Amino acid sequence: MKVGFIGLGGIGKPMAIHIAKSGFDLTVTDLREPPLKELEQHGARIAGNAREVAAESEIVLASLPSNEASEQVPLGPDGVLAGAKSGDIYIELSTISPEVVHSIASQAAEKGVTVLDAPVSGDLKARQEGTLSIMVGGDAKALDRAMPVFKAFGDKVFHAGESGAGATVKLVNNLLAGIHVVATMEALVLGVKGGLSVQTLKEVISASSGGSPGFDILFDKITTRSPEPPPGQTANQGLHTLGKDVKLAVELAQSLSVPLSLGSSALQPFLAGFANEWADKEFWVIMEIFEQMSGVRVRPPDLTNSKEEKQ
């Protein structure tokens, strides 16, 4: 099967590598040369743009950072639809608005191309091991055709419903993730301000009704990991990604007239992080906002934060 992949970022590159290692005839493109060179070492061919990728492929996947990029890549003059053929499948792996999915799918259908929206979820380990969760919206027969490709980088594939359903369920999931992030940070700041040690909070909450696997993971990131990506690397769980997803979820709720009191409130620290130009840091950098507002330090003093860097 001839497969194309567009967008070799922090999550796209591992997926493309798994596809190449699984034996598919793979063509890739990206705006940056280093990931292209790396995929070439895994046997992939390099194309100059999305149109060239589509011309060489039966199934094209794209992992992109925004609504705008997700519209330009398939619909632009050198986009996927300019090179695709009737019967091809275009898979949008990005987390984007359902309305953007519907727009792409509608225009693709005019050319006989089927669109699946299939955002993914999973941490760095899942990316490396090829065990991502995949949430698919769109035609069931197209999903069956694409399943061998999905299985190259994911071990849990959910057919969420019709076109746009994958995008919707991903936004709902990440809305909950964003709320959990903010709630955990507020709770830790409150406890420390009230005189409790961070370790006491961890031990008690983990063994009580406030605890969850998500709490333990967040606690580890907040208290042991720097929000600065390693030198020369991009963030694995960037503020720009989770903050963008929470924002899209809030916008979806507004379009559907759904009250979202907790989600709208949870968005505010992410927006503050963007205003502080922290978009390229790991998302737990926003703990600094809660510490500053409350006049207390939860994180160990040796962890890098933006305030210390500027001094």
* pLDDT reported for residue 308: 43
* pLDDT reported for residue 304: 61
Are the beta carbons of 219 and 202 closer than 8 angstroms?
Answer: yes
- The dihedrals phi and psi of 138, each to the nearest 5 degrees, come to 130, -170
Which amino acid is it at 159? H
Under CATH, which number does the domain 2-162 receive?
Answer: 3.40.50.720
**Residue in the structure block whose two tokens are 């959910």:** 158
Could you tell me the residue ranges of all domains in the chain? 2-162, 168-310
Are the beta carbons of 63 and 10 closer than 8 angstroms?
Answer: no
Which amino acid is it at 106? S
- What six digits make up the tokens of 91? 């898979």
Per-residue pLDDT of the chain (311 residues; tens, 9 = 90+): 999 999 999 999 999 999 999 999 999 999 999 999 999 999 999 999 999 999 999 999 999 999 999 999 999 999 999 999 999 999 999 999 999 999 999 999 999 999 999 999 998 899 999 999 999 999 999 999 999 999 999 999 999 999 999 999 999 999 999 999 999 999 999 999 999 999 999 999 999 999 998 999 999 999 999 999 888 788 888 999 999 999 999 999 999 999 999 999 999 999 999 999 999 999 999 999 999 999 999 999 888 654 444 43
Which amino acid is it at 57? S
DSSP H or E run through 282: none
pTM: 0.93
Which amino acid is it at 96? I
DSSP 37-98: HHHHHTT-EE-SSHHHHHHT-SEEEE--SSHHHHHHHHHSTTSHHHH--TT-EEEE-S---H
Task: Indicate which residues carry an active-site annotation.
Answer: 170
Are the beta carbons of 30 and 36 closer than 8 angstroms?
Answer: yes
CA–CA distances in Å: residue 286 to residues 128, 140, 158, 217, 305? 26, 40, 32, 16, 10
What end-to-end distance do the CA atoms of the chain give, in Å? 55
**Residue in the structure block whose two tokens are 């998302």:** 283
In terms of Cβ atoms closer than 10 Å to its own Cβ (0-12, 13-18, 19+), residue 289 is: buried
CATH superfamily of 168-310: N-(1-d-carboxylethyl)-l-norvaline Dehydrogenase; domain 2 (1.10.1040.10)
